[in-house]
Every structure is written in structure tokens, then in C-alpha cells.
């Protein structure tokens, strides 16, 4: 009677996909048989009719098929030492093939990686987690690593094993909950997922790789093995980034949704590729004078109408627009043109799709178990549990990944307010206070500070932006001073107050003058960016042009006035695509913005104005050098509410660098309006939003002479024609 060295229950567990440690039984092992140490070889391959083992030296041998579904075993009569080998498999159907056996390879994970992982300090976790092609003992293959501490069994499934979870089980490092395996012959372009079995689940889950670097094009959900071969040419840009992106430099951001900036006509979906965007978007942005492009989320996401904010593949640039090296090409071309690249980053929450992070190992590995902490009811998403080391490793290494691998220049962190407050958008009783009874999310605060510290430590000059809509103190203050450590905070208060004022009919604006002045009370409490973003032109909010009151002429004039005021107000600038040429309709991700409008002079005029505002912003030190304190701004007059005219001075570091802004928020033309100015000299108008070139009535001065005589607490004054619904920028000659 032939000896079988495994119990029948263990063989059944292998065949049923229930065995959690295949490395302990498959391959070569020493076993005790009748009191003697013997070398045994075991192999499992579903539907294998016969296998032949081909040693590196010595004669081939045929293990005996123990079960019909493909479990084989061979007990060596004399051999004691393990050896390298290949396996020739003859299936019941199809041609025979020869493979390297996964189960002859040992662990490839270092103790150092495991230590950092366990501490929650693995800032480069993406370099070992996920799928990485390697050569091991001269054998080409892919090393897979995944975190699933509560799983009872994890397998790699893919196009290379007929998606059968019984074939390539993974080895578990129990202390850290990390699973790994090296699979020979698997390489770039192969599709894969992790099949995760847990005692909490009736059926195994098929999960995309959390650290996967590429994904199938929707609606496919598998991860794709990817190696970059891209050769960068932006060394000079990266070396000078800390200078070019200093807080005293101009930052004017053009925000785009890559899937709807422009599309191929007549094609579905007709997306431009990353390389086509490089060829078309970059010259356009360069021509308009923006310093940066901000991409709405480009990490992989299953649902187009989420705009990328509900992510499944945090490390995978979406395949909608090409492969990861195509994105690298886009960034490289931006840098070649002197344009920085910012991406929207979403560490606040993630989608509930079955193949994503939710209940990854059968438990709430990435999210909170309690829905009062772990679920965003407004968005139908899961909230990250920032107290878990797995989450800290995952998110901080993800931030590092985008900067290191794609040379991204800035991260705009979405929905920071939702992270800071445990009661964000929750009713009484639907949230859990922190350990001190407060509403602050202490773990999220720690994470945000750590994220900013690590990011700025590794990459001086890379910028971080917080979309934070509350009065939280110190968002852009250094963490050493108790702040969150961001470089800039989106000034949502300025945006809300200004748009509310601009939407008011000019006849009533006299009663709302404080909406223009209030932002200067807190303008220097943070480092601010002024956003007119996608959020203001969707969901029945109307486009910026449509928000403006009055007839068509007044709508365009109001919009030009808004932009002139924005560029004069302290703070960096952001404008969403389509707003630069006054799109009439709300934005939708379903089609491109309305480029045909540029055939009309008034739309082209707004585009010309944005171009000239950017040019002035970049070239005039007074508009960008001193954004964060009162030394860069001075009111001339904010009290003329009856005429709805405001005036102020913007100043550079050099006292001689200053500009005078005069803004008229009514349709009334003032022929000789008296304004105080710092010097009794001649002033030239460097920009007038009522210029005929922009679609205006061409009122207002080209030059104006200053006169001695105090006015508005200034030592001199001018008398100027102030155009209707317009802003004028004066520069001393």
C-alpha cells in the first residue's frame, strides 16, 4: 500500500480552496514516515491529468495523482536535500506546459519592511506592497504582497491561472497580517486580483490590489501588472521647484476634469489620452498664462459621475486616458512648458464597490466598523480609520508615490472639513465623541499633520492645499506651531461671500458692501488660495456667467469685474475650465466644455481678459509677492456703498512696486471720481475690464495724472473716469 503523507481532511481543504497555508504542504518538505525523515514533493493543479518533475540535476520523476482534481505527491526513497526543478503539466484538455513551481520559492519580504509596516512608518510601502516583477534565482516572475490580517486564506488569481483561487495561495506573516507569494512566468500586462477568504465571509471576495499600479478600463475591475520604462527630462524643473513654488511666487491654477475638457467628436466616450492632453492642453494653458494645472482625481474609479472622488485604485492612474507612462509624459510636458501639476487627492473616504477597499479581509480593515464613524451618508462612501497603521502606511505612501513616481508638484486634499469633525454632516446622536468628549477627529488630525510633515520633508517645494470650509484655526500653520501644516487653504469664505454679492442685482448691492470687505478681516490668518472651482458650477448652481445679474451685456461685464477683483484680492488663484471663456451652461462630466462659444466676441473677450490678468499677476510683484500680511494690501476706500465702488492698493516687497485697484460694482459711469493715491504722479491703466478688447464699452482712462492733496488718508489724489461694472488697475509711471 502506497503511503500518502497528508491527512484526507488537509487534501480536501486544498481541493476546496479552504487551506490557509499552502506553503506548508505544497512543494518540497521533510516529513516523518514510520519514524524516518523523508523528502516529499506535493503539487496541486486543478484538472491536471499528469505531472512530471524535472530536477535541475538528476532524472525526472512522476508524482502519483492522489485525487482526480489534481493533487499529486511523490515520496523520495533516498533523496534528502531540496533542489531546484520545473514541472511539466499535462491537463485533461489542452496542450502540456512546463512551469516553475511557486511553492519552491521562499519569502522575499525583508524584516525591515515588516518592522516599518508594523510601526505604521512605511512611507514607501508601495515599493514592496502590491505586484512587482522580479528575477529570483534566475526565474522571471512577479512578487505579490497584500495586507489582510483577518483573512484565513489569500490567493492571487488572474489570467495566468484561470482565476482559480486554489492554485496560488499566499504565505502569511502572522505578526503583521501581510501575505506574499512569488509567481513565476507572470509579468507585465497580466490581469490579477486577490481572492480573500475569511471566517467572516460565506464566500471568498475577489479584490483589486490596493497597491495596484494600473487597472483594467472600466467596467473591468482587475488590476494590471505594470512596470514603468519612462525616462524623465524634467530634472531642472524638479531641482528648481522649491524656488518656483515659493509662497512669494505667482500661483494661478487652471482646474480641469481630464475626461471632459475636450473630447473626440463622434466617439464614445471619446476621451483625450494623457498624451493628447499634453499636446493640446499644455499649449493652451501656457498661452493663457496659468502657472499650474490642477487635475481632478485621476486615481482609478469605477463611476464616471463621481468625477474621480470615489476611488478604488489609489495607486493606479485611471486607464481612461492611457497607461501610467502616458501620465508621466503629460507631467513631463507640463514641466517642459514651465507649468506645475497639482492633483486632487482623496484621503477622506473611499467607494463601497465590492472590488475595492471596503471590508477588504472580511473586516473593516481600512474603514471604521461602526457606521457612526465609518460611513459618509451624504456621499455613500466609507471613511478611513486613521488610527490604523495599515491606513497610515497606505495613505502616506500613496502621497509619496504620486510625487516620487509622477513628479507631481502639489496635492490638493479634498474634503478636509469632513475629516476634522466627527459630527460632520451628522445629526445629534449619530456620531461618537472623541476620548475627551469633543467633536474633533484626533486620529485624522494626527494623520494630516503627519502627511504634511513627511511630504515636505521628502520633497521641499511640493505644495499641499486643503479644501477646508470651516473656521478651523491653523490649517496652513506649521505643525511645530500647532497647525495642520498645509501650504495653502482654499478660501471658501471669500468665494461664498463674493459670489453671493455678485449674484445680487446692482441696485441692491449697496446694502451688502460688507460681503466684499469681510474677507479682508481674516485674509492673512492663513495662506489662502481663492477658488472658483468646479463645485461652484454644478448641481443646479449655474455657471459663473449665468449667476451674474442683468442682461447679457451686464452678465459679461459682471463676470469680467469678478475676475479683476479676484486677481487683485490677496491670495493665490484658481479657475475651473470653461470659466475662462464664460461658459453659459453648467459643467457636466458627460461631454466637453463648450468650445464653440469662442466664435463670439464677448466670450473671446473674457478669455482675453483672463490671459491679461494672468500676465499682470505674473509680471507685477505687487500682485503676488506679499499675499499673507497687511504689508501687501491697503484699503483706499471701502465706505462708498452708495456707489458700490471700492478701491485698494496692492504692494510688493519693494515700496516702489504698487498698483491701485478701482472697482465699480454698478452699471453707472462716473466721469470724474476722486480717489486717494500714494503719489502725485502720472498713472497708466495696465488693465481695464471694460476695454473693448474684452467686450466692454471702452470707458475709462489710459492715463491719469495724480495731484498733491490728501484724500482717503492718502497724500495725493486723482480724478478718474470709472467705467460701469468694471475694474481698473493703475500703475505709477
Active-site amino acid positions: 414, 467
The β-bridge relationship of strands 682-688 and 703-705 is: antiparallel
Q: Which three cell numbers stand for residue 165?
A: 483561487
User: Which residue, 529, 561, 569, is CA-closest to 545?
Assistant: 561
The β-bridge relationship of strands 463-466 and 410-413 is: parallel
At 258, phi and psi to the nearest 5?
Answer: -60, -25
User: Which residue, 51, 55, 54, 35, is CA-closest to 43?
Assistant: 51
Q: Which three cell numbers stand for residue 376?
A: 459618509
The SS3 call for residue 215 is strand
- Report d(CA 500, CA 476) in Å as an integer: 26
Whether 205 and 195 have beta carbons less than 8 Å apart is answered as: yes
End-to-end CA distance of the chain: 107
Whether 25 and 12 have beta carbons less than 8 Å apart is answered as: no
- Report d(CA 726, CA 700) in Å as an integer: 9
Helices (H), 127-264: 235-239, 241-244
Cα→Cα distances 542→494, 498, 538, 564, Å: 19, 15, 6, 21
- CB crowding 205-243: b at 16 or more within 10 Å, else e: bbbbbbbbbbbbebeebbbbbbeeebeeebeebbeebee
Cα→Cα distances 199→8, 9, 171, Å: 22, 18, 18
> What angle is formed at CA 409 by the lines to CA 243 and CA 412, rounded to 5 degrees?
120
User: Residue 183: enclosing H or E segment and its boundaries?
Assistant: strand 178-184
The β-bridge relationship of strands 85-91 and 71-75 is: unpaired
Whether 77 and 41 have beta carbons less than 8 Å apart is answered as: no
248 alpha-carbon distance from chain centroid: 25
172: left (phi over 0), alpha (psi -120 to 50) or beta: beta
Q: Helix, strand, coil shares of the chain as percentages rounded to 5?
A: 30, 30, 45
Q: Which residue has the cell 449619530?
A: 430
Q: Which residue has the cell 486564506?
A: 153
Cα→Cα distances 710→65, 636, 675, 677, 715, Å: 103, 12, 10, 9, 4
Check residue 62 and report its DSSP letter: -
- Report d(CA 44, CA 51) in Å as an integer: 10
Amino acid at each position: 500500500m502506497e503511503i500518502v503523507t497528508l491527512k484526507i481532511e488537509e487534501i480536501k481543504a486544498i481541493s476546496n480552496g479552504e487551506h490557509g497555508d499552502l506553503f506548508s504542504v505544497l512543494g518540497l518538505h521533510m516529513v516523518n514516515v514510520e519514524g524516518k525523515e523523508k523528502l516529499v514533493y506535493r503539487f496541486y493543479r486543478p484538472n491536471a491529468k499528469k505531472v512530471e518533475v524535472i530536477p535541475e540535476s538528476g532524472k525526472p520523476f512522476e508524482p502519483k495523482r492522489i485525487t482526480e482534481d489534481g493533487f499529486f505527491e511523490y515520496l523520495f526513497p533516498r533523496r534528502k536535500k531540496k533542489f531546484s526543478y520545473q514541472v511539466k503539466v499535462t491537463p485533461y484538455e489542452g496542450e502540456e506546459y512546463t512551469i516553475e513551481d511557486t511553492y519552491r520559492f521562499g519569502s522575499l519580504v525583508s524584516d525591515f519592511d515588516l518592522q516599518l509596516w508594523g510601526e505604521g512608518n512605511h512611507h514607501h510601502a508601495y515599493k514592496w506592497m502590491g505586484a512587482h516583477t522580479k528575477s529570483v534565482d534566475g526565474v522571471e516572475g512577479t512578487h505579490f504582497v497584500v495586507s489582510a490580517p483577518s483573512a484565513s486564506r489569500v490567493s492571487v488569481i488572474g489570467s495566468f491561472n484561470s482565476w482559480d483561487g486554489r492554485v496560488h495561495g499566499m504565505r502569511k506573516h502572522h505578526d503583521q497580517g501581510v501575505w506574499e507569494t512569488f509567481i513565476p512566468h507572470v509579468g507585465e500586462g497580466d490581469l490579477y486580483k486577490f481572492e480573500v477568504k475569511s471566517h467572516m465571509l460565506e464566500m471568498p471576495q475577489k479584490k483589486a490590489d490596493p497597491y495596484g499600479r494600473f487597472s483594467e478600463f472600466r467596467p473591468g475591475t482587475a488590476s494590471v501588472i505594470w512596470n514603468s520604462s519612462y525616462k524623465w527630462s524634467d530634472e531642472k524643473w524638479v531641482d528648481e521647484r522649491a524656488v518656483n513654488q515659493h509662497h512669494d511666487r505667482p500661483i494661478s491654477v487652471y482646474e480641469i476634469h481630464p475626461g471632459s475638457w475636450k473630447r473626440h467628436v463622434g466617439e464614445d466616450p471619446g476621451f483625450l489620452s494623457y498624451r493628447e492632453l499634453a499636446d493640446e492642453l499644455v499649449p493652451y494653458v501656457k498661452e493663457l498664462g496659468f502657472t499650474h494645472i490642477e487635475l481632478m482625481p485621476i486615481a482609478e474609479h469605477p463611476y464616471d459621475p463621481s468625477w474621480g472622488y470615489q476611488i478604488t485604485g489609489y495607486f493606479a492612474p485611471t486607464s481612461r486616458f492611457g497607461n501610467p507612462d502616458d501620465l508621466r509624459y503629460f507631467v513631463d510636458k507640463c514641466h517642459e512648458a514651465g507649468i506645475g501639476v497639482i492633483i486632487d487627492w482623496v484621503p477622506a473616504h473611499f467607494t463601497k464597490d465590492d472590488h475595492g477597499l471596503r471590508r477588504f479581509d472580511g473586516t473593516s480593515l481600512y474603514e471604521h466598523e461602526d457606521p457612526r464613524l465609518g460611513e459618509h451618508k451624504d456621499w455613500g462612501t466609507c471613511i478611513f480609520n486613521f488610527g490604523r497603521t495599515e491606513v497610515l502606511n497606505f495613505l502616506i505612501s500613496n502621497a509619496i508615490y504620486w510625487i516620487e513616481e509622477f513628479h507631481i508638484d502639489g496635492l490638493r486634499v479634498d474634503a478636509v472639513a469632513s475629516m476634522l469633525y466627527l459630527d460632520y454632516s451628522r445629526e445629534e446622536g449619530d456620531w461618537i465623541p472623541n476620548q475627551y468628549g469633543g467633536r474633533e477627529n484626533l486620529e485624522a488630525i494626527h494623520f494630516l499633520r503627519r502627511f504634511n510633515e513627511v511630504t515636505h520633508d521628502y520633497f521641499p517645494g511640493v505644495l499641499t492645499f486643503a479644501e477646508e470650509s470651516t473656521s478651523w484655526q491653523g490649517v496652513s500653520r506649521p505643525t511645530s506651531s500647532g497647525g495642520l501644516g498645509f501650504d495653502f487653504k482654499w478660501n471658501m469664505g471669500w468665494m461664498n461671500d463674493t459670489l453671493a454679492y455678485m449674484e445680487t442685482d446692482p441696485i441692491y448691492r449697496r446694502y451688502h458692501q460688507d460681503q466684499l470687505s469681510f474677507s479682508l478681516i481674516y485674509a492673512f490668518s492663513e495662506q489662502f488660495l481663492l477658488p472658483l472651482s468646479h463645485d461652484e458650477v454644478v448641481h443646479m448652481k449655474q455657471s459663473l456667467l449665468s449667476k451674474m445679474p442683468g442682461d447679457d451685456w451686464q452678465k459679461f461685464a459682471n463676470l469680467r469685474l469678478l475676475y479683476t477683483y479676484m486677481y487683485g484680492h490677496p491670495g493665490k488663484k484658481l479657475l475651473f475650465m470653461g470659466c475662462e471663456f464664460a461658459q453659459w451652461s453648467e459643467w457636466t462630466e458627460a461631454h466637453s466644455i463648450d468650445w464653440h462659444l469662442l466664435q463670439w466676441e464677448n466670450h473671446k473677450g473674457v478669455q482675453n481678459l483672463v490671459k491679461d490678468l494672468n500676465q499682470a499677476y505674473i509680471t507685477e510683484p505687487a500682485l503676488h509677492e506679499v499675499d499673507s500680511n497687511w504689508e501687501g494690501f491697503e484699503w483706499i476706500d471701502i465706505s462708498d456703498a452708495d456707489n458700490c465702488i471700492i478701491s485698494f492698493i496692492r504692494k510688493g516687497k519693494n515700496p516702489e512696486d504698487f498698483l491701485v485697484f478701482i472697482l465699480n460694482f454698478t452699471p453707472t459711469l462716473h466721469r470724474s471720481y476722486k480717489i486717494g493715491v500714494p503719489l502725485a504722479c502720472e498713472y497708466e491703466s495696465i488693465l481695464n475690464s471694460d476695454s473693448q478688447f474684452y467686450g466692454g464699452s471702452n470707458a475709462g482712462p489710459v492715463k491719469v495724472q495724480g495731484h498733491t492733496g490728501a484724500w482717503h488718508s492718502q497724500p495725493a489724489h486723482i480724478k478718474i473716469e470709472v467705467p460701469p461694472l468694471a475694474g481698473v488697475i493703475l500703475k505709477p509711471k
